[in-house]
Structure 1
Amino acid sequence: MPIPNFLVIGAAKSGTTSLYAYSKQHPEIYMSPLKEPRFFAFEGEKIDFCGPGSNIFNQETITSIEAYRALFDGISDEKAIGEASPAYLCVPKAAECIYHYIPDVKLIVILRQPAERAYSSFLHTVKAGAELNIDFTHALQEEEKRILNNWGFIWRHKTLGFYYPQLKPYFDRFNRNQIRVYLYEDLCNQPVELMQDLFQFLGVDDKFIPDVSSKFNATGIPQNRFLYYLLFTKKSPLKPIKNFLRALFPGKLRTPLAKGIKSKLLVKPTMSPEIKKQLTQEYREDILKVQDLIQKDLSKWLE
């Protein structure tokens, strides 16, 4: 039965959804219809994270190998088969579980300046309506308590930015040539070049040019929370109507319209320079260790 030969393993809020969407366009790549199965992070477990919105995370996580394999029943003649679960980077057991099932897998990582990633993570919870207090400092102060109370990973804004202990098990277990690490800034500045390098890494046609005009899973604070909730959240009471409209109108018409409406509703406030400086200082040692591990210049992250 089919199983992936490549995985996008993180980091969360660093562009994994874009990598998933752009890869999905390639005719020689099959991506799981469920973007984040998280199977290798939670195999055989009962998922019971707490905190606002965690019920969706709990329900959507695949924990059995049978259900996981079923995600890839639609494969035809694609060369590269993959999925994208950022939980694989931050859950300690994931590296060993992946190695057990697919030791020859290719692993893709994309990393973002950790203070900026933390702030984006915070804005994500605000956008989802889960974080009612829109003060970033308050969210950071609450983080340790939330972790102790078993809140989900989306609440670990600061913690998930310490990449070195998350990456090290993969570099210890897998050959370096099985791991490709990208930087978020390269995805923003040179998305086509990055994707073509990724295609080459996967052994598919690297001349293929994906449509990179859309940014996926962008964060921000809704100017009108109620309207945003109705139009764009999974719990919206308008979901039956949206499903009906989805059947009537093709994606090429829906996507630009939805993108335009969403961009009007979302505003993205900038992070306080003082907070960014403080967080970057806390991340400094980790950044230097990551720089040595992945053999990429991360000096700009320290500015």
Structure 2
Amino acid sequence: MSQSVTLPNFFIIGAARSGTSSLYEYLRQHPQVFLSNPKEPMYFAFPEQAVTFAGPGDEREINRKAVTSWADYCQLFDKAGDNTAVGEASANYLYSPCAAQNIAAKVPHAKLIAVLRNPVERAYSSYLYTLREGREPLGDFQAALAQEPERIANNWEHLWHYRSMGFYSAQLERYFAHFSRDNIKIILQEDLQHNVDSVVRDVFEFLGVDPAFKAETGVAYNQGGKPKNAWLNSVLTKPSPLKAALRPVTPRFLLDAYVKFKHKNLTKPALEETTRRTLEQGYMQEIDKLEALLARDLSHWRGVAA
């Protein structure tokens, strides 16, 4: 007799650098929710294929980490038990040209959660994150934006697509083509940031678990920024087998304290206004499309370019 396989029934699909790490941490506290470890298996973006991105740190951060075998992917959910909601949170699924179709083929009735951020802020956050990780070789955001087409041509991974990842409408349409809109929950990052408890409660309801459960939401996870002390940042952010083993069993208050300490070593330089205006102008038509697609007012994303 073949052993039954537990598959995820929900996915946090992105967008990268929009609060998916925080949402993952909040949801995994619920006793009826099981989330994979690692957070981002990325299987449906790269099923049964070699991952060979060529940007700085890509080999370590994505090529080796992506789970590309179906058997290995299924093993991530072996301990899901009888949890109502079983999920994962690969933030590159939204941007991936094939993930929507691949998820639909394996889990056609999956529930999907997308967190969307002002695309200008998302692009800058992605830059600050790669800067924090010691991967971004350019100390100027505008210069990095100018290099984006060449980086994409040279097969740097999606996180380097600072500007390109912010065109959400086409990305969402891929999911709308394969899934009922009732199965897709779209959250704005500013709502997650400013009304976090209400948003998390809504997500619990969407997933069919007890919405009365109160998650600890006082910490925002995985923030980007320019390190004050490069050596300390390296110690705090460098992956290790010990960190990976301790993380699932570390008490929540200690994990939160560690995250806060790590974030204290970061500064967030202000985005230059000329760069902001250029990006805002470039996203104007995209925001129009997104408003029509979602039937939601996003005028606050237009900024001074409006």
- Shorter-chain TM-score range: over 0.9
| Corresponding residue number in structure 2 for 1:265 | 265
Aligned equivalent of 1:198 = 203
* Helix, strand or coil at the partner of 2:64: helix
Amino acid in structure 2 at the alignment position of 1:87: N
Which structure 2 residues correspond to residues 98-117 of structure 1 after superposition, within 5 A? 98-117=103-122
- The code of the aligned residue for 2:203 comes to L
Distance 2:229 2:110 in 1: 44
2:94 is paired with a residue of what secondary structure?
helix
Alpha-carbon distance, 1:253 to partner: 5.6
2:301 alignment counterpart: 301
Go from structure 1 to structure 2 and tell me whether the alpha carbon gap of 1:13 and 1:260 turns closer, same or farther (over 3 Å shift): closer
Give the 3-state SS of the residue equivalent to 1:207 in structure 2: coil
Unmatched segments (≥5 aa) in structure 1 = none
In structure 2, C-alpha distance between the alignment counterparts of 1:205 and 1:231, rounded to whole Å: 35
Query: Residue 73 in 1 paired to residue 63 in 2?
Result: no
| 3-state DSSP of counterpart to 1:215 | coil
Asked if residue 169 in structure 1 is aligned to residue 174 in structure 2, the reply is: yes
- Report the alpha carbon displacement of residue 259 of structure 1 after superposing the two structures with TM: 2.9
Q: Which amino acid aligns with 2:18?
A: S
Q: CA–CA distance in 2 between the matches of 1:285 and 1:250?
A: 45
Q: Name the CA distance, whole Å, in 2 between partners of 1:184 and 1:37.
A: 22
Aligned twin of 1:27? 31
Q: Within 1, Cα distance between the matches of 2:257 and 2:215?
A: 20
Report the secondary structure of 1:173's partner residue.
coil
In 1, are the aligned partners of 2:17 and 2:125 still within 8 Å (CA)?
A: yes
Give runs of ≥4 in structure 1 deviating > 4 Å.
none
Q: Secondary structure at the match of 1:193?
A: helix
Q: Which residue of 1 aligns with 2:191?
A: 186
Report the Cα distance in structure 1 between the residues aligned to 2:18 and 2:236, rounded to whole angstroms: 24
In 2, the alpha carbon distance for the partners of 1:86 and 1:257 equals 24
Q: Structure 1 counterpart of 2:80, which letter?
A: I
1:62 is the counterpart of 2:67: yes
Give the whole-Å Cα distance in 2 for the aligned partners of 1:227 and 1:212: 26
Is the alpha carbon distance of 1:111 and 1:270 closer, same or farther for their aligned partners in structure 2, counting shifts above 3 Å?
same
Which residue identity does 1:274 align to in structure 2? T
Among all aligned residue pairs of Structure 1 and Structure 2, give the percentage whose two residues are the same amino acid. Answer: 40
What's 1:2 paired with?
6
Is the contact between residue 223 and residue 263 of structure 2 (CA under 8 Å) also seen in structure 1?
Answer: no
CA change 1:133–1:206 in 2 (3 A) is same
Separation in structure 1 between the aligned mates of residue 235 and residue 125 of structure 2, nearest angstrom? 22
1:278 is displaced (CA, Å) by 1.3
CA distance in 1 between counterparts of 2:37 and 2:112 reads 19
The answer to whether structure 1 residue 129 and structure 2 residue 134 are counterparts is yes
Give the TM-score taking structure 2 as reference length: 0.93
Measure the CA separation in 2 of the matches of 1:69 and 1:250: 25
Per the alignment, residue 275 of structure 2 pairs with 275
Q: Is 1:220 paired with 2:225?
A: yes
Q: Partners of 2:86 and 2:244 in 1: how far apart?
A: 28
Counterpart-to-counterpart distance in 1, 2:217 and 2:25: 9
| Greater mean alpha carbon deviation, residues 7-16 or residues 264-273 | 264-273
The one-letter code of the counterpart of 1:195 is V
Which secondary structure state, in structure 1, belongs to the residue aligned with residue 67 of structure 2? coil
**Is the 2:133–2:237 contact (alpha carbons within 8 Å) kept by the matching residues of 1?**
no
Counterpart-to-counterpart distance in 2, 1:40 and 1:65: 9
Deviation at 1:251, TM superposition (A): 3.1
